[in-house]
């Protein structure tokens, strides 16, 4: 039990934020969450996923792989 309490203290944070009611209600509705905490957690995780995908797309666009025939992709797959 002691470890559980320490875990909660170290990894949870209580935050006071001024956020418009309409925004909170929209996030709750779109995330299908029953609580504000759950809705904000879902929204923040989704934002991070999208941010990481955008960053990955930037890296890929700097050095794209252009495939002109099936042999190239087969060899690439086998080399990984």
* pLDDT higher than 80, residue 3: no
Q: Is residue 70 part of a domain?
A: no
Q: Is residue 78 part of a domain?
A: no
Lowest mean pLDDT: which of 2-6, 30-34, 36-40, 46-50? Answer: 2-6
DSSP E strand boundaries for 1-80: none
* pLDDT higher than 70, residue 5: no
Reported as a single tens digit per residue, the pLDDT across 7-44 is: 555 667 788 999 999 999 999 999 999 999 999 999 99
Query: Domain containing 49: what range?
Result: 18-64
Tell me how far apart the alpha carbons of residues 33 and 43 are, in angstroms, rounded to a whole number.
10
Q: Is residue 57 part of a domain?
A: yes
Domain total of the chain:
1
Tell me how far apart the alpha carbons of residues 27 and 5 are, in angstroms, rounded to a whole number.
29
């Amino acid at each position: 039990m002691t470890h559980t309490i320490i875990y909660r203290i170290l990894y949870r944070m209580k935050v006071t934020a001024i956020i418009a009611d309409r925004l909170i209600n929209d996030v709750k509705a779109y995330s299908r969450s029953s609580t504000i905490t759950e809705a904000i957690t879902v929204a923040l995780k989704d934002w991070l996923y999208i941010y990481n995908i955008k960053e990955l797309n930037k890296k890929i666009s700097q050095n794209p792989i252009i495939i002109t025939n099936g042999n190239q992709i087969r060899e690439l797959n086998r080399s990984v």
